[in-house]
Amino acid sequence: MLYTALLKEGVPVQLEIIKGAGHGGPEFTSPEIIGKVAAFFGKYLEEEVPAGEKGDRQGKEKNPEGGLLYFATYKERDLLPAVSNPYVKGALFSIYWSQVEQTENIYDWKHIENLMEPWIRSGKKIALRIMWSSDAEWPDPAAKNPTPQWLIEKGAVVVVSPKSKSIVPLMWDPISKKHAERFISKLAEKFDGHPDILFIDITPGAETNPYRYRINSTEPVFKDVFKNTPASNGIKYSDNLWISTMKEYIEAGAASFKKTRLLVTLNRGSLDGPPSFMEIGSYCVEKGFMVGQNGIRGTSYLTDTLWKKAFIEWSGKTPLYFEMGASTLSEKTGSLMEVMKAAERVRCTYLGVYATDVLKGTKGYYSYSSDYEEALKYGAAVLSR
């Protein structure tokens, strides 16, 4: 038996018998079993600290501001080896409104709590993100429609992309906005002040864009369809309307959350007009929000662009969150060390690292690489200063 053989060789091993389970199934991913796996990894794969350094490390603050987060992509969000990585502060998980409130005014948080549990049990932190608008071509089935079906049946207007069938909400629609603000308040009732949550991303739309512009590349007609679709009150999209809508969602977040930090990730923030990046970014910082941007790569922020200067200025007032736009499997991303140095250049506080890249830097994982571990070590050090 494998268990006995490992014991004879002196290899750390723990046998758990799951009664009533077969060779696989949901019993193997219950919170109890996931917690035991995470605890095992945490015990035997934790960073080795030289004896002379233990006293110094114990005297430091346990959770200084800043660090690396495991960006829990759909296919990798249940892979637990990353929990044991000593250079990762925690994980970021996405929340789809349609998953939590499948029936009006009935909220089921079990899915997200199950994802959070092994990380919290291992002493790590959590960040959450509300996905208001997504893309049906993403692997997560919930990405097809983040808007609850009951809300659509109430008359909230959505636009369906012809090819991918992505269901995109008009966030200024009064029916949608009313219930979205209630959802934000319920999210606050559940998680505001949670000791293990670093921040919650409530960005309106898709990184302040009215929808994910990736849809335009495969379905160029969608932009005009979106612009010309009236909400339930007859009002169609305009850039000024979108800016005011974003501010209303930001206000709703500020009114509901009193303890836990909120984040808005910035992008162009308009469809046809000039970017609203500076206006919305400054508005968020004034409200005490974190700000940041998705899509960082090794070549980002090499020159003193308007965006870089703004982020550096804002870094003196609020923590910044940046996120890799793709894993290092993409040539455009660059090496993981280059990404870490780009984050350092823009004074990033928290960096979302693609799951596959964290796993490559985790000892004991099949794709482990010392170069990736070294990059994570460097990033953890510079971001938590």
Mean pLDDT of 211-220: 92
Taking only the tens place, the pLDDT of each residue in 86-117 is 999 999 999 999 999 999 999 999 999 999 99
Mean pLDDT of 249-267: 98
Taking only the tens place, the pLDDT of each residue in 288-322 is 999 999 999 999 999 999 999 999 999 999 999 99
The confidence band for 11, taking pLDDT boundaries of 50, 70 and 90, is: low
The confidence band for 31, taking pLDDT boundaries of 50, 70 and 90, is: very low
Give CA–CA dist 95/109, Å, rounded.
9
More confident call, 13 vs 165:
165
Taking 90 as the threshold, does the pLDDT of residue 246 lie above it? yes
CA-to-CA dists, residue 11 to 5, 362, 365, angstroms: 9, 19, 16
Mean pLDDT of 216-227: 93
Share of the chain above pLDDT 70, in %: 83
Taking 80 as the threshold, does the pLDDT of residue 34 lie above it? no
Taking 70 as the threshold, does the pLDDT of residue 56 lie above it? no
Select, from the ranges 20-34, 35-49, 58-72, 133-147, the one with the highest average predicted confidence (pLDDT): 133-147
pLDDT at position 384: 85
CA-to-CA dists, residue 243 to 148, 206, 210, 215, 269, angstroms: 24, 13, 10, 21, 8
Give CA–CA dist 244/227, Å, rounded.
16
Mean pLDDT of 8-31: 58
Put residue 60 in one of left, alpha, beta given phi > 0 → left and psi -120 to 50 → alpha. beta
What average pLDDT does the chain have? Answer: 89
* DSSP secondary structure of 72-138: --GGGTT-GGGGG-TTEEEEEEEEEHHHH-SBTTB---HHHHHHHHHHHHTT-EEEEEEESS--TTS
Taking only the tens place, the pLDDT of each residue in 114-134 is 999 999 999 999 999 999 999
Mean pLDDT of 133-155: 94
Mean pLDDT of 206-225: 93
Contact 89, 68 (CB under 8 A): yes
Give CA–CA dist 30/114, Å, rounded.
8
Taking only the tens place, the pLDDT of each residue in 321-379 is 999 999 999 999 999 999 999 999 999 999 999 999 999 999 999 999 999 999 999 99
Contact 144, 165 (CB under 8 A): yes
Report all structural domains of the chain as residue ranges with CATH numbers, in order of start: 1-44 (no CATH), 65-383 (3.20.20.80)
Taking 70 as the threshold, does the pLDDT of residue 15 lie above it? no
Taking 50 as the threshold, does the pLDDT of residue 47 lie above it? no
Taking 90 as the threshold, does the pLDDT of residue 64 lie above it? no
More confident call, 139 vs 54:
139
What would you report as the CA-atom Rg of the chain, rounded to the nearest whole angstrom?
Answer: 22
The confidence band for 7, taking pLDDT boundaries of 50, 70 and 90, is: very low
pLDDT at position 41: 54
pLDDT at position 106: 98
